[in-house]
Amino acid sequence: MTLASYLLYLAAIALLIATPGPTMLMCVTNAINHGPAKALASAAGALVASLGIMALSAVGLGAVLAASEAAFTILKFAGAAYLIFLGIRTFSSDGGALPGATAAPRSFFVQGLLVGASNPKALLFFAAFFPQFITPDAPLAPQFALLALTFVAADGLMLAACAIGVGRLAPWLRRADVVRSINRTCGTLFALLGGLLLLARRQA
């Protein structure tokens, strides 16, 4: 991989990471409702899921999903169902309390893992995205490791900034009416993302 290719990759993932998605939305809502520590736990779960998705793409599962309508549909419906469930749960949270405030960080890690793994299109994306920056006649494993770890590090910095930044503002955002409004907005967005996932096609 050339330096020019790597710099182009950095620019591409910077744009990708800056675009709000389910993991960033989850991180923000957890920071407001439960504090930055538990938001960081959920972010860690999402990052592990991303690393797993990139590894699966590298070994060819992305190609399997691209070729199998049944496999893609099963994973798509499972991911959409979880996002919609999370949306309903977030929407119905009472702004007068911090639901799950006493839950262990491990449960937030699992939540992040599920949100991060909920979109099968990520497998297809990375399967198609990584080869654009890999030099075919050079060893593939070191190049893949560099691309994957760079993405996880950059995404981790963004999610940590969201968790800590929003967490510091949380005391001013935790009025019952404000939390209720945020939860309903984020819950609606989670459900919308789940609905959009149901419309996803393998070719897209």
- For residue 48, name the pLDDT band (cuts at 50, 70, 90): very high
Give tens-digit pLDDT for 120-141: 667 667 776 776 777 767 787 7
pTM of the model: 0.68
Residue 87 pLDDT more than 70? yes
Q: Which of 124, 165, 145, 187 is nearest to 39 (CA)?
A: 165
Q: Taking residues 63-68, what's their average pLDDT?
A: 61
> 68 φ, ψ to 5°?
-110, 110
Give the best-scoring range by mean pLDDT among 27-36, 90-99, 108-117: 108-117
- For residue 41, name the pLDDT band (cuts at 50, 70, 90): very high
- For residue 97, name the pLDDT band (cuts at 50, 70, 90): very low
Give tens-digit pLDDT for 143-200: 888 888 998 999 899 999 988 888 777 666 655 566 667 667 777 776 776 776 677 6
- What are the angstrom distances between the C-alpha of 2 and each of 13, 80, 137, 148? 17, 38, 12, 16
What is the enclosing helix (H) or strand (E) of 194?
helix 176-198
